[in-house]
Structures are given as structure tokens and as C-alpha cells.
Amino acid sequence: MKFQIYDLETSKLLAKGIFERIGIDHPTLTISCQGKKVEQSSIIANHHEAVQELMQTLLDRGIILDLLEIVGVGHRVAHGGTIFTKPTVVTELVEAKIEELAELAPLHNPINLLGIRAFKSYLPQALEVAVFDTAFHQTMEEAYYTYPIPYEYREKYGIRRYGFHGISHQYISDYVTEHYGLPEKMICAHLGNGSSICAMKNGLSYTTSMGFTPTAGLMMGTRCGDIDPMIVSFLEKHENFSGNQIDQVINQKSGLRGISGFSSDMRDIELAATQGNSRAELALDIFANRVIELVGSYISSLNGLDVLVFTAGIGEHSATIRKKVCQRLTFLGLDIDDKKNQDHAEEISSSNSKIKVLVIPTNEEWLIAQAVKEKLEQLPVLA
């Protein structure tokens, strides 16, 4: 559970942190505030207890003096379907719709909803706002979000491309526009444990790699991304897998973990590759190839490219992956400066590159906080 605390008036970041290993062995809370970063052990068993501990920690560390000071809480919600196209104040009806959409994001929406309900119980005075990962991609054209399966299934079950990481892609779009001007044709590569690529036209989502679920598209930490769909029925038949077992293979046992055999963390993979581990090397190459293939196809869809952005854990910190991708795009006149890339500079393209290449840390929490602030400002003022 990640969190950031902002001052409503100044937009100043007061604290940020993360609860890790919730409900398993040795859970921890890492919190940064007042210029210090502290990691403390915890005994939390679930997300509800994590929220309780967070509230107490904020009080103990003097970040707030009273829980009543917290006037709004924003929540990242993975799947909003076609129902939620913008940040939405949480009501009982909204909660019910998020729960309905859990069938489309079973690993995400139930946990998102649990967080919403936990914060409501501890902060009943605060305005709860849901910000949806799918909302940014509502600008995609029908020809990009419709799957070539019988059309009736789109209408009956809502089977279509939704796209995810929308909050991150929107943050990058806003950041680039503010600091470099609005690019006509931009590709954002959000590369992390979950990875997606978004092609944008004039700052809006044009097409994206994640689809009906967050499993589609790129190879990820434990998710396979795009594969031949007949592999599923083949494994069901020959391994006698149930639907749940297939889900586990595709979502939890594939990707970097499945190919390397030992880790889903790109840092572990890169280290092992330097030590001659052939499966780690293969995992690196497959990951980079998938990114290159999608970036290449999106350049074709956009009919050119002005800006390429790398973001998220791998995108921000892996100079190796960035170099592997960019080396295969030199035919476009794209050229990166090796030293800038190794130093993780914001702009890593060389002075003679025809395409600007940027490395920008994403900040979904900031965008969510701004959405909450906007909703609070829209509330009627009581006389």
C-alpha cells in the first residue's frame, strides 16, 4: 500500500511511504517525512490494519495533529470500464460498480475497494475520490479498442481493450507538455513489474498495449503479456489445468520469473546476466524485444515520433533496457548519449537526435491528489 500526504493549500508533500509484505512474513512500513526516511517493522495482517497503523504513525510523528485535518483521500482504482471516465467521488453506488468491475480486474479492484472502505472507517469526515487507471484511454478510437472476435461479445460482456496505467501515462503527458511543449506524436513506455506502452496524439491516448485486462501486451515481472491464445487450451488439455491454474500460470508464474526461473525483479535479472546466467540473458532479450516490437508498431500507427519517454521502475532505472530499445531505433534518427543514459538524466537523447528521448519518474499520487483537491474545491460552501 503506497501513500503520499499533501498539504491542500500549498500542494507541499508532507510525507510518503509504502507498506510492504502485508499479510505475510515480516511486513514493514517505510515512511519519508521531515527530511528523514525510516523503515519500521510491523505486525499488520491485512490492508485494514495497515490503514490503522498509517493513521497512528501520522499522529505519532506529528505529520498531523488530528485525524480531522485529513479532508480528502484519493484512491487509484484499476478498472473503471466504460462507466468511469474521470475522477469520481465515492458513494455507495460507486462502490457497487467498482465491485461489479472486479470480474475484469480480479487482482486489483477488490484490493482497491478494500482500501476505500478502510479509509472510510477511519476518516468518515474525508471526501473519498476514486481515480481510474482506465479513464485516460477513453480517447482511443473504436478500431483500436475493439477485438476481432464476434462483435456480440463486446456488447454482451464488454470485451474490448480498456488499457491501464492511465494515471501514469496522463502524468507523463502533462509533464512533457508543461516542460517541453505539447508533442504531436509521443510514446510512453511505462516499464515496471507491470508494463505498458501508450501511443499518444497531441497528449491523448491513441492506443495502448494493455487490453481487456492488465495481462495483455508486454512481458512483465510475472505476467506473460501477449501470447498465442491457443496456448491456454493446449495447457488445459495437456497439463489438466483448471481455469484458476491457468490464471496463475499467466499472471503469477510467467514473465521475467517464468523465463529466468528465479526472480521477477529486473535488478536480479540484470545482475545474473552479467554473471553469465543464460536464462537471465534470455529474459532480458525477450523483455527488450517486446518493447521494441510495440514501440515500432506504434510509430507506424502514429506515422512518426517526436518524443519517446521511459518511466516506472525499470524505465527509470535500467540503463541497459533503455539502450537495448534505443539501439534498434537508430534508423529513425534516434540517438542517445551513453553517459546521460548511464547517469539517468532526464533527457538522454544526443544533440543530433531527431527524436527526443526522456526519462521521467512517474508520480501517480500527485495526479490523484490534484483530482481530490479539484473535487474538494467543487463542494458547495456552507453559509
Whether the predicted pLDDT of 383 surpasses 60:
no
Q: Hey, how many other C-beta atoms are within 10 angstroms of the C-beta on 186?
A: 29
pLDDT at position 108 is 83
Which of 70, 87, 110 is a domain's end point? 70
Phi-psi map region of 23: left, alpha, beta (phi>0 left; psi -120 to 50 alpha): left
Confidence at residue 120, expressed as pLDDT on a 0 to 100 scale: 94
d(CA 274, CA 286): 16
Return phi, psi of residue 89, to 5°. -65, 135
Q: Confidence band (pLDDT; 50, 70, 90) for 379? A: confident
Choose the final residue of a domain: 42, 70, 98. Answer: 70
How high is the pLDDT of residue 374?
A: 94
Q: Per the domain annotation, does 11 fall within a domain? A: yes
Residue 316 marked in a binding site: yes
Residue 333 annotated in ligand binding: no
In a domain, 93, yes or no: no
State whether 62 and 188 are in the same domain: no
373 lies in some domain? no
Q: Given its phi and psi angles, is residue 225 left (phi above 0), alpha (psi -120 to 50 degrees) or beta?
A: left
DSSP label at residue 219: -
Q: Per-residue pLDDT tens for 336-370?
A: 999 999 999 999 999 999 999 999 999 999 999 99
Find the mean pLDDT for residues 251-277: 94
- For the stretch 227-244, pLDDT in tens is 999 999 999 999 999 988
Asked if the structure places residue 140 within a domain, the reply is: no
The per-residue pLDDT for range 73-111, each reduced to its tens digit, is: 999 999 998 899 999 999 999 999 999 888 877 778 888
In this structure, the answer to whether residues 190 and 317 fall within a common structural domain is yes
Residue 296 has pLDDT above 50, yes or no: yes
HEC profile of 33-72? ECCEEEEEECCCCCHHHHHHHHHHHHHHCCCCCCHHHCCE
265: annotated binding-site residue? yes
Task: Reply yes or no on whether 133 is catalytic.
Answer: yes
56's grid cell: 497512528
Check whether 364 is labelled as a binding-site residue.
yes
**Does the residue 342 lie in any domain?**
yes
Averaged pLDDT for residues 188-200: 96
Q: Who's near 262: CB < 8 A, 6+ residues apart?
A: 268, 272
Is 314 assigned to a binding site? yes
Query: Which H or E element spans position 271?
Result: helix 266-274
Among 25, 133, 247, 285, the active-site one is 133
2 annotated to a ligand binding site: yes
Report whether pLDDT(205) > 70: yes
* Distance in angstroms (rounded) separating the CA atoms of residues 287 and 220: 8
Give the pLDDT confidence score for residue 90 in this predicted structure: 96
Same-domain pairing of 329 and 195: yes
pLDDT bin (cut points 50, 70, 90) of residue 21 is confident
Instruction: Give residue 10's domain range.
Output: 1-70
- 66 shares its domain with 189: no
Count: domains in the chain: 2
Is 48 known as a binding-site position? no
Q: Are residues 191 and 313 in the same domain?
A: yes
Q: Quick check: 382 pLDDT over 60?
A: no
Q: Which of 38, 70, 102 is the last residue of a domain?
A: 70
Q: Is residue 340 part of a domain?
A: yes
- Whether the predicted pLDDT of 216 surpasses 90: yes
Residue 381 has what pLDDT?
61
Cα separation, 78 vs 98, whole angstroms: 9
* Same-domain check for residues 193 and 329: yes
- Report the CATH number at residue 261: 3.30.420.40
- Asked if 329 and 349 touch (Cβ cutoff 8 Å), the reply is no
Segment 319-345, tens digit of pLDDT = 999 999 999 999 999 999 999 999 999
- At residue 212, φ and ψ (nearest 5 deg) are -60, -35
Do the Cβ atoms of 197 and 189 come closer than 8 Å? Answer: yes
Residues 217 and 339 reside in one and the same domain: yes
Mean pLDDT within 58-82? 93
Does the annotation list 76 as a binding residue? Answer: yes
